[in-house]
Structure 1
Amino acid sequence: MATQAKEQNLLRPRQLQYVLLALGLCTLLALTIITFILIGDSWWQTVTAVCSALLLVHFAFLVHDGAHFQIFRTPAHNEFFAVVTAALIVGASYSWWQHKHSAHHRNPNHITLDPDAKLPVIHTKPHATGIMSWRPIRFFSTHQGVLLFALMPLEGISIYAASWKHLLRSGTVKYRALQITLIAINHSVVAFLMIWVLSPAVAGTILGIHLGLFGFYLGMVFALNHKGMPLITDTRKGDYLLRQVLVSRNIQSNALLACLMGGLNNQIEHHLFPTAPRFTLRKLAVLVKQHCLRIGVPYAQVSLTESYRRVYQYVNRVGIGQSNDYICPLGTFQHSPQVIQTTASKADPT
């Protein structure tokens, strides 16, 4: 499979395509800023708040791709591009995110080693007593999947707070001075434009819409691909393909949805070939799916709405102590595709 991907030239960086994409996003961002200034102190600024939030998410996708060395041929150029784009345009710390994201890729959906596997749920037991046995709390604990989606608008604030905390902590932080300087410029320019153009009431509302939509958009994309898939507890190194494919889920997508998701709709291929540019993931998916079917490994691909349903159901089940339903005993079937098929189907209930 990897040999076929190389032969079809699907793994090399796509510098020209990414440069054109970056120039297009920068042009749209400049037009949004100009429109913001021309509109002035008006509630029509809600439109620019929506546009700026959507654009920042797509710049964040560029940061993600740079972190995976998908843009330029040398790691140093990719990293510097990601650092500058994250700090100057998105206003967040690349080094904070990169540390967290690398841990996720090393151990995807590992119950303790993957930071993205942690969920903001209230855990209750089937036979809870005291306040946890009250009917309203019991009802909430079995329907708290809505909590995950309700908290997503706060993700933007969380990212900025975590970025500053990371950069101001003691210890070695790569590109610390550069990141602090560029993030400070970003935040200062935003604050200046808000004070110069808008009244306090409009500024507060616009900022809230921007941050809320930015966090919600990011959360709705990144929540889809692993939550509700099997969880790994085995700490031994095993089959790379199994550890990546079993815990990942693709979203059935057309070209528009793939664009809106920054290519992360093909999460299985992204995890198997993290340096593959987003522009080649759809072609890679054909090879990966054929290979998985040939060796008997399940290849999870569902619709967008079905994926959200499974995420919601998963959070509910974890909240009432049924997370063990998703445990994937990887160590017992590292070389047995037939057992994988059975276990994975049980671990991703429908």
Structure 2
Amino acid sequence: MLIGILLVALGGAIAGFILLGDSWFQLLIAGALGLIFTQFAFLAHEASHRQVLESGPANDRMGRAIAAGVVGISYSWWMTKHTRHHANPNKVGKDPDIDFDTISFVEADAAKQRGIMALITRKQGYLFFPLLTLEGLNLHYRSMGTLFARGPVKGRWIELGLIAARFAVYFGAIFWMLPLGMAFAFIGVQLAVFGVYMGASFAPNHKGMPIIPADAKLDFFSKQVLTSRNVSGGMWASALFGGLNYQVEHHLFPNMPRPHLAKAREIVREYARTLDVPYTETTIMQSYGIVIRYLNRVGLAARDPFDCPMVNQFRRV
């Protein structure tokens, strides 16, 4: 049912694009496409977890077709990165989602930044959402880097073919239908909305939750629950975030389909209470506030030691 709704939405956006023609209202279509592509990415994510179809290979075929052919990112790159994340969420040296990439998620990375990167890092919490406007471009870049890198990549040529076909149709239609400036604006808006929506959907799940040191050992339940955060909102949040609002349950039962996560939540909350393991759930706005404060706190590690007023006074003397 979900894929049918998304296909209708995509068809409506394409129809609107054709009917509007040479008009700056096309930027509304671009924004809509950013939202639709993100929803397709959620569906590919669910397929990667074997939640959609009965067999693993069928889910992989579906996930690869959606990720590469519709969204334009590498399914193999995503699978490799995401599998490592699920095995060790928020663990230093193990979770690629907390590796440095413009944003520093641990103080050790923040302290290494120099020059312009240090300036960004010091205010990275406030800059986090503006920087997400570039995340769509970053996702395409990193997935293509994997496909062109040396070493084995499952389905490399299939994905390259799907991505090439997708971008040929996408860019071909845009530059054929729209004036040059409008075409670039259309692509920019679509990528910005896609990046912000993707980042705003994944950031509340783990950012600002405990970081596990590289040498620490935790049992599976504690590791997954302590590092994950749910977002309240029920079915509306589930539709908006593709089920990622039930992040605790998703990490405990990664193959569980989206409709069952709400029921699992009640069981997991009670079990966590009996084990005295903290179970975190906040509203979406509270979670964003936590993320911003956490990133700014980490960013203080990039502060120039001579920013201290007392030290500056002695320097002048």
Q: TM-score range by the shorter chain?
A: 0.7 to 0.9
Residue 222 of structure 2: aligned partner: 242
Note the 1:55-70 alignment, pairs <5 A.
55-70=36-51
Distance 2:99 2:216 in 1: 21
Note the 1:201-280 alignment, pairs <5 A.
201-235=181-215, 238-280=218-260
| Identical aligned residues as a percent | 39
**Aligned-partner SS, 1:223:** helix
Distance 1:105 1:303 in 2: 23
Residue 301 of structure 1: aligned partner: 281
The one of 87, 111, 115 equivalent to 2:92 is 111
The answer as to whether partners of 2:231 and 2:237 remain within 8 angstroms in 1 is no
1:73 aligns with 2:61: no
Distance 1:37 1:26 in 2: 17
Offset of 1:293 from its aligned partner? 1.0
Distance 1:118 1:170 in 2: 21
Residue 169 of structure 1: aligned partner: 149
Offset of 1:182 from its aligned partner? 0.7
The answer as to whether partners of 1:124 and 1:141 remain within 8 angstroms in 2 is no
- Cα distance change of structure 1 residues 168 and 143 upon mapping to structure 2, 3 Å threshold: closer
**Aligned-partner SS, 1:228:** coil
Offset of 1:246 from its aligned partner? 0.6
Residue 101 of structure 1: aligned partner: 82
Distance 2:202 2:42 in 1: 11
Residue 52 of structure 1: aligned partner: 33
1:292 aligns with 2:272: yes
Task: Report the number of matched residues.
Answer: 294
Distance 2:121 2:32 in 1: 36
The answer as to whether partners of 2:70 and 2:166 remain within 8 angstroms in 1 is yes
The answer as to whether partners of 2:77 and 2:143 remain within 8 angstroms in 1 is yes
Offset of 1:316 from its aligned partner? 1.1
The answer as to whether partners of 2:40 and 2:70 remain within 8 angstroms in 1 is yes
The answer as to whether partners of 2:93 and 2:214 remain within 8 angstroms in 1 is no
The answer as to whether partners of 2:24 and 2:182 remain within 8 angstroms in 1 is yes
Question: Which digits, 9 at most, give the CA deviation of each residue in 1:109-139, with x for residues without a partner?
Answer: 00211011134347999xx9xx98xxxx78x
Distance 1:202 1:141 in 2: 33
Residue 24 of structure 1: aligned partner: 5
Distance 1:237 1:95 in 2: 29
Residue identity opposite 1:219 in structure 2: G
Normalised by the size of structure 1, how large is the TM-score?
0.80
Question: Which digits, 9 at most, give the CA deviation of each residue in 1:145-167, with x for residues without a partner?
Answer: 11222211111101111121111
Q: Which runs of 4+ in 1 moved over 2 A?
A: 118-125, 140-144, 234-238
Offset of 1:228 from its aligned partner? 0.7
Of the structure 1 ranges 114-123 and 269-278, higher mean CA displacement relative to structure 2 is found in 114-123
Offset of 1:234 from its aligned partner? 4.4
**Aligned-partner SS, 2:189:** helix
Offset of 1:142 from its aligned partner? 4.8
Distance 1:124 1:180 in 2: 37
1:312 aligns with 2:292: yes
Residue identity opposite 1:45 in structure 2: Q
Offset of 1:176 from its aligned partner? 1.0
Distance 2:32 2:177 in 1: 17
Question: Which digits, 9 at most, give the CA deviation of each residue in 1:51-85, with x for residues without a partner?
Answer: 11100000000010000000112111111110011
The answer as to whether partners of 2:92 and 2:214 remain within 8 angstroms in 1 is no
Distance 2:286 2:132 in 1: 19
Normalised by the size of structure 2, how large is the TM-score?
0.88
